[in-house]
Amino acid sequence: MENSRIKAIEIATNRNGSSLPSPTFEKVSAIFGDMTFNRESMQQFISTEAHRKVLNAIEKAEKIDRKSADEIASAMKSWAMSKGATHYTHWFQPLTGSSAEKHDSFFTLDGDGKAVEFFDGSSLIQQEPDASSFPSGGIRNTFEARGYTAWDPTSPAFIIEKTLCIPTIFVSYTGEALDYKAPLLKALHFLDTTATEVAQLFDADVKWVKATLGIEQEYFLIDEALFHARPDLSLTGRTLFGHASAKDQQLEDNYFGSIPERVVNYMKDVEYNAWLLGIPLRTRHNEVAPNQFECAPLFEEINLAIDHNVLLMDLMSKIARRHHFRVLLHEKPYSGINGSGKHNNFSLMTDKGDNLLSPGKTPESNLKFLTFFLNIIEAVNTKNDLLRASIASASNDLRLGGNEAPPAIMSVFIGEQLTHILNAIEKSKESILGNKSTRKHFSLDISHIPEILLDNTDRNRTSPFAFTGNKFEFRAVGSSANSAAPMIALVTMLGSQLADFKVEFEKLISRNNTKEDAISKMLRKYIVSTKKVRFDGNNYSQEWLEEANRRGLSNISSTPDALKVFVDKEVVKMYEAANVLSHRELEARMEIKLENYSKKIQIESRTIGDLAINHILPVAIRYQNILIENVKGLQSILPNENHNDYAVVQIQNIKDISEHITQIRYLVNDMIEARKVANRVADTMENARLYCTTVLPYFDKIRSHTDSLELMVDDVLWPLPKYRELLFIN
């Protein structure tokens, strides 16, 4: 009988890594954005008037009128057809899965039945895809299946596989958001309003503030033959069984090591296609675990950065197939091995190109820096549980606190120098800018920030939310997540915090404080209050868990518990005041996430049952029979001796295998019973909680028996590719 594992190993190891030619081009600048309807292609295809309208929409959030939309649509069509496109689609980001599209041809029949290519303003601006199969959390009953997609002119249309893709938001017939982009755009508008008001305290000419985001994407690669020989990987994205490999990442010899040729070819292909789509990919390297890699683009305006990341994940998966790879975006594909994250580097930028999180050279610019810096930390302090909920998923639960990822405690790292400066400010009674006598002292201290930070190379890699010189890096985001989920939360939290800051500032001004005094008082208050979340030590240590507990910080380890905060009174109030999400929308989002959680655990649980009973037990029994034959044979040639003298190991193995088989059978049965109980509970929160507390705990118990069997059974019989093969063949 053929062993699927041995066959897969043979195919994977004989794969010719360089068979696929890598793309040739002169230089990146010559091809960058070639497949996007960007400023240059617009200039070429539309009138100056319509072009200006699009630019105003991007820069000033102004609406585009119908006449211009018609012109833009017709130009987009001409441009897309000149690039070989035949179809168009509204491209959107539903609440599960990465992106969705429904392709329509440009082709249609005119009144006389003649074939023509047609695409007008209304097809550009709005579509009505049948929305009934997208999750809505009860917002849209199936009899009212209509949902609308509406054009987002701030993110350029692009062409993939001969289809013109138009970035859109996705809302229900009654106007509720069914996607990530709609609330993100609202949140960004809100932040722009409040941050601009605060920025104007320092520079009255500031016109707008935008959030910027640079997303580092971690992932694993695996040969497609090995992938298919692991039903757990193909069905759930992670390995549910597998004993640790003798060698994995303990020698720390992988990070920044040389990248295998076959992988480099894949990366080049991804980069080439990303550049065509205007995604500014810049960095690529090995990650800590074997067969783990990272790529990162330059930062962009946040809405664009997120669209680009969603597109990039899609590209990575598509292109992997061309190279006979599969890309694993799961947060924890291998137990005991580093998981994958998606570091979200976040900052704020004004229309003048000023990074508000960059320490300045003068005391005044540093006061501005400290204001935004402390407001962000205070937002994380007061809306700590929301930040945790924003990154919650069944797969990220496996990674958070997994010893090589930040724990589920949302603390902030700022480093020794900034801590020192905050301490000094706290102790002083003066305005932060100081009066004449102290001014020198503080200006000296603060104006040294840039130099000191440049030296700050020993950055704390264990913090979930770290200040890294001129931006915050949110590291707890999972590798498969849509970054919009955490960014909607962070942006709204910050916007709301800045609004509160402004209100209190005005109060102090009305009580005859000078501007500097008012700001100083507020910042001093935040310096004290944020002590609760500021932590520069080792986030992976046991001491921190205890310390965080003493400080009253939450450590919420499961998704169902984390999601509760979506309907917390304060959180709902904040989102509604910011006009980002309504109570109903928040409830719906929580429902969708809970349902998704239960489904994921259910699929994993079923896969475990199937693998254990139908793949592993038969092989264990086959091997046990070989041992039994062996003992019988020995008995027949040594009839007069005590078999304890010659077959003791075989007999013990036979007994052990029986014990594992029995345990696996019982545990799988019990797990199925637990699932049945959970399935009878209609309440989504209770259902998810039961999956978490009564089904999930069986996974490790069953695994410990199957992994023990892996160590006992003859290697050539074992049916599932082992960790050493999954991790080291490339």
For ligand ADP, the binding residues (CB under 6 A) are 212-214, 216, 283, 296-299, 343, 345-347, 355, 470-471, 473
List CB contacts of 20: < 8 A, sequence separation 6 or more.
265, 269, 322, 323
Nearest CB to Mg ion, comparing residues 216 and 585: 216
Residue 471 makes contact with Mg ion by CB under 5 A: no
726 neighbors 226 (Cβ within 8 angstroms):
yes
Nearest CB to ligand ADP, comparing residues 147 and 339: 339
Nearest residue to 182 (alpha-carbon basis) of 174, 170, 167, 166: 170
Nearest CB to ligand ADP, comparing residues 183 and 214: 214
Cβ-closest position to ligand ADP: 214
Closest separation between CB of residue 279 and ligand ADP, Å?
11
Q: How are beta strands 163-172 and 87-91 bridged, if at all?
A: parallel
Distance CA 120, CA 127 (A): 12
Closest separation between CB of residue 302 and ligand ADP, Å?
9
Nearest CB to ligand ADP, comparing residues 90 and 343: 343
Return the number of other C-beta atoms located less than 10 Å from residue 717's C-beta: 16
Q: Which does 296 bind (CB under 5 to 8 A by kind): Mg ion, ligand ADP, none?
A: ligand ADP
Q: Which two tokens stand for residue 229?
A: 């020989």
Closest separation between CB of residue 358 and ligand ADP, Å?
7
Which long-range contacts does 562-567 make (Cβ < 8 Å, 24+ apart)? 562/385, 562/388, 562/389, 562/392, 562/408, 563/389, 563/392, 563/590, 563/593, 563/594, 563/685, 563/688, 564/389, 564/590, 564/685, 565/385, 565/386, 565/388, 565/389, 566/389, 566/590, 566/593
List CB contacts of 511: < 8 A, sequence separation 6 or more.
none
Nearest CB to ligand ADP, comparing residues 459 and 521: 459
Closest separation between CB of residue 130 and ligand ADP, Å?
37
Q: Which two tokens stand for residue 204?
A: 């009255």
- Looking at residue 176, what DSSP letter applies? -
Segment near Mg ion (CB under 5 A); pick from 311-319, 341-349, 639-647, 717-725 = 341-349
Phi/psi of residue 345, nearest 5 degrees: -90, 120
Q: Which of residues 201-220 bind Mg ion (CB under 5 A)?
A: 216
Closest separation between CB of residue 388 and Mg ion, Å?
20
Closest separation between CB of residue 216 and Mg ion, Å?
5
DSSP β-bridge partners for residue 294: 218, 285
Nearest CB to ligand ADP, comparing residues 178 and 418: 418
CB environment 322-348: b (16+ within 10 A), e (fewer): ebbbbbbbbbbbbbbbbbbbbbbbbbb
Closest separation between CB of residue 298 and ligand ADP, Å?
4
Q: Which does 471 bind (CB under 5 to 8 A by kind): ligand ADP, Mg ion, none?
A: ligand ADP
Nearest CB to ligand ADP, comparing residues 347 and 395: 347
Judged by DSSP in three states, 235 sits in helix
Q: Which does 213 bind (CB under 5 to 8 A by kind): Mg ion, ligand ADP, none?
A: ligand ADP
Instruction: Kindly compute the dihedral angle of the four CA atoms of residues 405, 408, 410, 413, in this order, to the nearest 10 degrees.
Output: -30
Return the number of other C-beta atoms located less than 10 Å from residue 143's C-beta: 6
First to last CA, the chain: 27
Closest separation between CB of residue 316 and ligand ADP, Å?
16
* Binding characters for Mg ion, 224-243, by CB under 5 A (x = yes): --------------------
Q: Which does 283 bind (CB under 5 to 8 A by kind): ligand ADP, Mg ion, none?
A: ligand ADP
Closest separation between CB of residue 343 and Mg ion, Å?
4
Distance CA 715, CA 452 (A): 56
Closest separation between CB of residue 283 and ligand ADP, Å?
5
Q: Which of residues 120-159 bind Mg ion (CB under 5 A)?
A: none
Closest separation between CB of residue 284 and Mg ion, Å?
14
Cβ-closest position to Mg ion: 343
Nearest CB to ligand ADP, comparing residues 213 and 279: 213
Q: What share of the chain is helix, strand, coil (3-state, %, to 5)?
A: 55, 15, 35
Distance CA 666, CA 206 (A): 67
Q: Which does 214 bind (CB under 5 to 8 A by kind): ligand ADP, Mg ion, none?
A: ligand ADP
The residue within the footprint of Mg ion, chosen from 87, 243, 332, 343 (CB under 5 A), is: 343
33: left (phi over 0), alpha (psi -120 to 50) or beta: left
- Binding-site residue total for Mg ion (CB under 5 A)? 2
Segment near Mg ion (CB under 5 A); pick from 97-105, 242-250, 335-343, 541-549 = 335-343
Nearest CB to ligand ADP, comparing residues 232 and 473: 473
Q: How are beta strands 300-301 and 325-328 bridged, if at all?
A: unpaired
Nearest CB to ligand ADP, comparing residues 53 and 342: 342
Nearest CB to ligand ADP, comparing residues 275 and 346: 346
- The site for Mg ion (CB under 5 A) is made up of 216, 343
